[in-house]
Chain A
Amino acid sequence: METREIDKIIARYNADPQEIMAMFMEIQDKEGYLPKSALSYLADKLHLRLAQLYRLATFYEAFNLKPQGDHQIHVCMGTACHVRGAPQVLDKLQQTLGITAGEVSSDGSFGLKTVNCLGACALGPVVVIDGEYCGHSSPLKMEKILKKYKKHT
């Protein structure tokens, strides 16, 4: 990310350190994650410690410090989804993509994460891909969905 773009974001929030979360979100929207260089630059411009920013960025699940896959897969592991077979769905995804939850596939096309509840228990097990909800999912359905998204990349 170019420093010019970060400067714009900083200016939009009047370089107010209290708005740091909003700045994080904007950077992440653009990059998909929070690059180290961006955090260092922010720390410099806002006269904050890099350690402080790192603490914040690691505290919130919503921020990523590593590049994410082109498609984000979230598997709900909440109680309802769990009893309806979410572990099998997750297993299938992990096997097919060759990664464990929290990682990005080697070709960079998919990122896999678990979440604890999406509040859509009636649809369980729920898998969300790029914000699109896939209810009553199953290992078999996952194969089809992965194929469909693979074509998009």
Chain B
Amino acid sequence: MVTVIINGKKYQAEEGRKLLQVALDNGIEIPHLCYHENLSSYGGCRLCLVELAGRKKSSLVTSCTLPVSEGLEVKTDTPQVKKARRLVMEMILPQAPDSLRIRVLARELGVSAVSFPSEGDGCIRCGLCVRACEELVGAGAISFASRGSARTVEPPFAEEPESCIGCGTCVVICPTDCIKMEERDDERKIIRWKRTLKMKSCVRCGRPFLPLAMVDVITRRSTSPPPGERLELCPDCR
């Protein structure tokens, strides 16, 4: 355990843990969009910037990529931090102008008018879906593509990704809600990736509830105990 100083107060934390997580654990709010505690840190959205005290002068660093060490001292709410976050938000907002969560966060940070041209497709390139698909689901069906302002997140060749199992993790984790999922009859569709999957029906009520590709993966991966009825019955019938 090490002692870190956040906004002048001392906190105990496990060495190497990311500062953002330490702050959140202790109830200190730091806005963030590309961080998730179960995924690797990416430092992409730049909203979690904090002021790190240095020997001579302080600097702005992303707290989601900052491992804590003994005596680390940061401030999360200085005028400099607020100004930097505002600028970052001014650039994020035009990318996802229709997202409620982004709009609310923007207002909280004091950004109302959009000063950059709005040409957003709703995706802010935070990479949460890419990391979740790779690290949590283990499918790796989507990735970043291209570079610079042309950068997008898409399946290989922007075609229906065969390795997508239709679990919907990307749908849930997307901070701007730009990945939509649709279920009709026995088909599930992840619209953004153009992925359509057949679903397995509940043996009791007959309602389709789980993509067949997911059944395959769960059966293959689970060792003991066998998944049993979880794969036969829908959540309502269990």
A36 to chain B: closest residue by CB: B157
In the complex the two chains form, is A51's CB within 8 Å of B141's CB?
yes
Is B227 close to A, CB under 8 A? no
Q: Which residues of B contact A54 (CB under 8 A)?
A: 143, 145, 156-157
Q: Which residues of A contact B156 (CB under 8 A)?
A: 39, 50-51, 53-54
Q: Which residues of B contact A141 (CB under 8 A)?
A: none
Q: Which residues of A contact B97 (CB under 8 A)?
A: none
Q: Which residues of A contact B155 (CB under 8 A)?
A: 51
In the complex the two chains form, is A58's CB within 8 Å of B140's CB?
no
B144 to chain A: closest residue by CB: A55
Query: Which of A54, A59, A61 is most buried by chain B, counting CB atoms within 10 A of its CB?
Result: A54
Is B224 close to A, CB under 8 A? no
Is A22 close to B, CB under 8 A? no
Is A65 close to B, CB under 8 A? yes
Is B160 close to A, CB under 8 A? no
Is A52 close to B, CB under 8 A? yes
Q: Which residues of A contact B141 (CB under 8 A)?
A: 51
| CB < 8 Å neighbour of B140 from A51, A61, A65 | A51
Q: How far is the CA of A39 from the CA of B161 in the complex (A)?
A: 14
Using a CB-CB cutoff of 8 Å, which residues 146-188 of chain B contact chain A? 146-147, 155-157, 161, 163
Is B142 close to A, CB under 8 A? yes
B133 to chain A: closest residue by CB: A51
In the complex the two chains form, is B144's CB within 8 Å of A50's CB?
no
In whole Å, how far is A46's beta carbon from the nearest beta carbon of chain B?
13
Interface of A is mostly: helix
Using a CB-CB cutoff of 8 Å, which residues 119-154 of chain B contact chain A? 134, 140-147
Q: Which residues of A contact B134 (CB under 8 A)?
A: 49
Interface 0/1 of A22-52, CB less than 8 Å to B? 0000000000000010010000000001111
| CB < 8 Å neighbour of A52 from B143, B147, B161 | B143
Interface 0/1 of A82-125, CB less than 8 Å to B? 00000000000000000000000000000000000000000000
Q: Which residues of B contact A58 (CB under 8 A)?
A: 145-147
Q: How far is the CA of A73 from the CA of B14 in the complex (A)?
A: 57
Q: How far is the CA of A61 from the CA of B144 in the complex (A)?
A: 15
Q: How far is the CA of A65 from the CA of B145 in the complex (A)?
A: 12
Q: Which residues of B contact A50 (CB under 8 A)?
A: 156, 163
Q: Which residues of B contact A59 (CB under 8 A)?
A: 144-147
Q: Which residues of B contact A51 (CB under 8 A)?
A: 140-143, 155-156, 161, 163
In the complex the two chains form, is B143's CB within 8 Å of A55's CB?
yes
A65 to chain B: closest residue by CB: B157
B134 to chain A: closest residue by CB: A49
Q: Which residues of A contact B142 (CB under 8 A)?
A: 51
Query: Which of B134, B155, B157, B161 is most buried by chain A, counting CB atoms within 10 A of its CB?
Result: B157
B154 to chain A: closest residue by CB: A54
Q: How far is the CA of A2 from the CA of B146 in the complex (A)?
A: 27
Q: How far is the CA of A39 from the CA of B146 in the complex (A)?
A: 16
A60 to chain B: closest residue by CB: B147
User: What 9 A-B pairs have minimum CB-CB distances, sorted nearest first?
Assistant: A51-B143, A49-B140, A54-B156, A55-B143, A58-B145, A50-B156, A58-B146, A59-B147, A51-B140
Q: Which residues of A contact B (CB under 8 A)?
A: 36, 39, 49-55, 58-59, 61, 65
> What are 5 residue pairs bridging A and B, where the CB atoms are less than 8 Å apart in the complex?
A51-B140, A51-B156, A54-B145, A55-B144, A59-B144
10 further interface pairs, Cβ-Cβ under 8 Å (given A50-B156, A52-B140):
A39-B156, A50-B163, A51-B141, A51-B142, A51-B161, A51-B163, A54-B143, A54-B156, A58-B145, A59-B147
